[in-house]
């Protein structure tokens, strides 16, 4: 019997004796040379090939930051696809980086339990004026005071140019040079942990960006058997896929081991095609858990997907992939469609009050029932799975940035409707995610932007944006910002201001109070007991295909806790509504989203048995106040 082949880590890896081993999987190359540039010299050294197609070379006494490249038999010189550092961008030589040299001060940090998670998604380039990882650090205290427990960074893997959403990364192991490089990410994570914040990272394992992508020159990383909307599909189940799978699993391990990342958000796993007996998602989860166990920390792996498929979080013993969590877009879509009236694209599946009720009751609105948008049944039932395995939001980078102009809901929703959305997010038993700036009603847009270097690719991106929105027939009434223009990027920089007494400050106070309530009120800490119904109906909301339900039922009643200690009424309309009869007992008003301190209009003159437009009132024991 032949021995199982070995697939070791790739890159320029520092050894305990100080030497560096360069290793790259390049079975497509007949020969390969290592080009190094110590000082003003240029050295070309043939590398040794093993039986699995790995080329290897070892050097003693290698300086940190030494520039190097690979020269295959085609005569070109290319950066390392597994580079840990690209100081001069995607096309220039790589640099030796030794992550173990960093002196961590987070030894007491043990990670976050799922019950504690409140995620805050941010884009490093637009979160601050400086647009760097180091510049995030001074803003951490404000996020802690808000009630956030972990920041979630949009992708930081090296991409072309100096501005990009991050989903066009081509060096998955290297941290973007214009953000400060790998050393800056270590500094940010260490500072966050010392302050009591976790750090999650968005990673892309479904495709690699188009410019500066040299992987295919060296090995069989891609396949033409499947296709993604963003580029060639990764070869997870075809010939030679074992080394590709190792490349991806080692990348996930690296973020945990070398950067102490607390969680990975796996981008668009529905575009990861793998029909192996063991799915690549299982391998990723196992690798992350092993690294987390070595460090004695909790680390989460959460899949972003539109499949509504509980197999991704079901135990492997039950045929699942065993991931720690999954996104639930149905909550966002239910709130968004209901409050805006938007019905294009996938929003046509949403917009009725019973959709929102079902999102509270069963998590997935589409859990095996018919989807008009897909014209087929969609999703699977959640059942008794822990609600902390599902991440929800009312804003995220996709839902804002994929609008033609990247305009935020704060520019087209009333303040009352925004406050209602905040209250609904806070009352859900699932894990809440905020998108940077939503907590104070940021009005600056978050449009799609990039800084490609290839003129043909730039024009293709511009043309693609126009064609995409023309096909959707959006009534957007204006010009689509040029994604390549620097001013498009600059327009997305947060104002990061909430002067006292302003609507920004009032909105932020509501978010702060709702997040504090999730920590303090026992009924909101109880994630197992949630029910929602529509006032005026004599049955619990059954789902989006229940044509007998009254689509105009305006009041959502939410109960939380094993004894229904907390009861909330949400007016889902822009008109004043009578409050439905409730068995409140000794419960008192704990919070109204229309209180004056939040910018609302509820005063002592307003009738207590009515609900103001888009008002949410929460009742509970007086001692919770």
Same domain, 423 and 538: no
What's 604's domain CATH number?
Answer: 2.60.40.1180
Domain boundary among 53, 69, 100: 100
Same domain, 478 and 613: no
What gap in Å lies between CA 327 and CA 265, rounded to an integer?
9
Domain boundary among 44, 65, 100: 100
- The backbone torsions φ and ψ at residue 148, rounded to the nearest 5 degrees and listed phi first, read -70, 145
User: What is the structure's pLDDT at 368?
Assistant: 97
Examine residue 252 and state whether it is found in any structural domain, yes or no.
Answer: yes
Mean pLDDT (whole number) for 8-31: 97
Q: Which of 215, 239, 217 is nearest to 28 (CA)?
A: 217
State the pTM of this model.
0.95
Same domain, 364 and 430: yes
Mean pLDDT (whole number) for 208-230: 95
Number of other CB atoms surrounding residue 44 within 10 Å? 11
Same domain, 25 and 150: no
User: What is the structure's pLDDT at 545?
Assistant: 42
What gap in Å lies between CA 206 and CA 200, rounded to an integer?
18
Please identify which residue in the block is written with the tokens 């070309």.
44
Same domain, 498 and 533: no
Examine residue 588 and state whether it is found in any structural domain, yes or no.
Answer: yes
Examine residue 109 and state whether it is found in any structural domain, yes or no.
Answer: no
Calculate the average pLDDT of the chain.
Answer: 94
The token pair that represents 500 in the structure block:
């006292």
Percent of the chain with pLDDT over 90: 89
- pLDDT of 419 higher than 70: yes
Cβ-based neighbours of 370, under 8 Å, separated by 6 or more: 376, 377, 378, 545
Q: Which of 150, 253, 133, 132 is nearest to 185 (CA)?
A: 133
Start-to-end Cα distance in the chain: 70
Same domain, 157 and 303: yes
Examine residue 341 and state whether it is found in any structural domain, yes or no.
Answer: yes
User: What is the structure's pLDDT at 539?
Assistant: 38
What gap in Å lies between CA 177 and CA 435, rounded to an integer?
24
Same domain, 205 and 316: yes
Q: What are the residue numbers of the active site? A: 267, 304
- pLDDT of 115 higher than 70: yes
**DSSP secondary structure of 314-341:** S-GGGTS---SEEE-HHHHHHHHHHHH-
CA distances from 60 to 20, 281, 421 (A): 6, 37, 59
Examine residue 521 and state whether it is found in any structural domain, yes or no.
Answer: no
pLDDT digits (tens, 9 = 90+) for 51-98: 999 999 999 999 999 999 999 999 999 999 999 999 999 999 999 999
User: What is the structure's pLDDT at 39?
Assistant: 78
Q: Report yes or no: 278 and 302 within 8 Å, Cβ to Cβ.
A: no
Same domain, 597 and 554: yes
Same domain, 154 and 95: no
How long is the chain? Answer: 625
Q: How confident is the model at residue 607 (pLDDT cuts 50, 70, 90)?
A: confident
- pLDDT of 344 higher than 70: yes
Examine residue 105 and state whether it is found in any structural domain, yes or no.
Answer: no
What's 149's domain CATH number?
Answer: 3.20.20.80
pLDDT digits (tens, 9 = 90+) for 259-279: 999 999 999 999 999 999 999
Same domain, 62 and 126: no
User: What is the structure's pLDDT at 548?
Assistant: 44
The token pair that represents 401 in the structure block:
């940035």
Same domain, 326 and 224: yes
pLDDT digits (tens, 9 = 90+) for 513-555: 999 999 999 999 999 999 999 985 443 344 444 444 445 579 9
pLDDT digits (tens, 9 = 90+) for 487-521: 999 999 999 999 999 999 999 999 999 999 999 99
Examine residue 6 and state whether it is found in any structural domain, yes or no.
Answer: no
What's 90's domain CATH number?
Answer: 2.60.40.10
- pLDDT of 477 higher than 70: no
The token pair that represents 409 in the structure block:
């809901």
User: What is the structure's pLDDT at 547?
Assistant: 42
Examine residue 144 and state whether it is found in any structural domain, yes or no.
Answer: yes
Mean pLDDT (whole number) for 582-590: 94
pLDDT digits (tens, 9 = 90+) for 361-397: 999 999 999 999 999 999 999 999 999 999 999 999 9
CA distances from 41 to 36, 37, 44, 87, 432 (A): 8, 5, 10, 19, 54
The token pair that represents 554 in the structure block:
């305006």
Same domain, 189 and 91: no
Domain containing residue 546: 526-624
Domain boundary among 100, 133, 160: 100
Number of independent structural domains in the chain: 3
User: What is the structure's pLDDT at 608?
Assistant: 83
Q: Which of 465, 459, 322 is nearest to 385 (CA)?
A: 322
- pLDDT of 423 higher than 50: yes
């Amino acid at each position: 019997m032949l021995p199982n082949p070995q697939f070791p880590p790739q890159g320029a890896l520092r050894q305990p004796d100080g030497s560096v081993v360069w290793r790259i999987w390049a079975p497509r190359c007949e020969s390969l040379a290592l080009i190094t540039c110590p000082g003003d010299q240029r050295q070309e050294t043939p590398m040794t090939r093993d039986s699995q197609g790995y080329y290897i070379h070892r050097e003693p006494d290698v300086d940190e930051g030494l520039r190097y490249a690979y020269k295959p038999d085609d005569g070109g010189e290319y950066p390392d696809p597994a580079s840990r550092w690209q100081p001069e961008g995607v096309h220039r030589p790589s640099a030796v980086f030794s992550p173990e040299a960093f002196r961590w001060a987070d030894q007491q940090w043990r990670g976050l339990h799922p019950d504690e998670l409140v995620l805050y998604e941010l884009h490093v380039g637009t979160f601050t004026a400086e647009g760097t990882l180091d510049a995030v650090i001074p803003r951490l205290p404000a996020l802690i005071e808000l009630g956030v427990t972990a920041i979630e960074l949009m992708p930081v893997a090296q991409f072309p140019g100096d501005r990009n959403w991050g989903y066009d990364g081509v060096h998955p192991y290297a941290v973007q040079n214009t953000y400060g490089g790998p050393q800056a990410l270590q500094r940010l994570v260490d500072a966050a942990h010392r302050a009591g914040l976790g750090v999650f990272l968005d990673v892309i394992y479904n495709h690699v960006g188009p410019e500066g992508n040299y992987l295919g020159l060296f090995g069989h990383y891609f396949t033409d058997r499947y296709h993604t909307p963003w580029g060639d599909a990764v070869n997870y189940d075809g010939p030679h896929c074992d080394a590709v799978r190792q490349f991806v699993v080692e990348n996930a391990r690296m973020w945990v081991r070398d950067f102490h990342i607390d969680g990975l958000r796996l981008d668009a796993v529905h575009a990861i095609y793998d029909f192996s007996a063991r799915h690549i998602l299982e391998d990723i989860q196992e690798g992350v858990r092993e690294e987390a166990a070595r460090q004695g920390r909790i680390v989460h792996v959460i899949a972003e997907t539109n499949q509504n498929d509980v197999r991704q979080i079901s135990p492997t013993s039950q045929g699942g992939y065993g991931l720690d969590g999954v996104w639930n877009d149905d909550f966002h879509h239910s709130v968004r469609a209901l409050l805006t009236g938007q019905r294009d694209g996938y929003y046509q599946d949403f917009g009725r009050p019973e959709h929102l009720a079902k999102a509270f009751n069963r998590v997935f609105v589409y859990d095996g029932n018919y989807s008009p948008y897909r014209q087929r049944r969609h999703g699977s039932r959640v059942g008794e799975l822990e609600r902390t395995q599902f991440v929800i939001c009312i804003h995220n980078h996709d839902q804002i940035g994929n609008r033609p102009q990247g305009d935020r809901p704060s520019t087209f929703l009333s303040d009352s409707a925004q406050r209602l959305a905040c209250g609904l997010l806070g009352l859900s038993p699932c894990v809440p995610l905020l998108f940077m700036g939503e907590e104070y009603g940021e009005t600056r847009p978050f449009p799609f932007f990039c800084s490609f270097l290839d003129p043909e690719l730039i024009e293709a991106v511009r043309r693609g944006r126009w064609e995409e929105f023309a096909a959707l027939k959006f009534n957007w009434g204006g010009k689509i910002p040029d994604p390549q223009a620097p001013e498009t990027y600059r327009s997305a920089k947060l104002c990061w201001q909430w002067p006292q007494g302003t609507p920004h400050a009032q909105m932020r106070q509501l978010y702060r109070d709702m997040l504090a309530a999730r920590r303090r009120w026992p009924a909101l800490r109880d994630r197992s007991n949630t029910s929602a119904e529509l006032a005026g109906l004599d049955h619990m909301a059954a789902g989006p295909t229940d044509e007998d339900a009254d689509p105009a039922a305006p009041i959502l009643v939410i109960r939380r806790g094993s004894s229904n200690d907390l009861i909330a009424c949400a007016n889902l309309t822009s008109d004043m509504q009578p409050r439905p009869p409730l068995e409140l007992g000794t419960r008192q008003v704990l919070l109204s989203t229309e209180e004056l301190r939040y910018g609302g209009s509820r005063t002592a003159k307003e009738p207590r048995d009515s609900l103001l437009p888009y008002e949410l009132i929460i009742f509970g024991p007086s001692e919770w106040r």
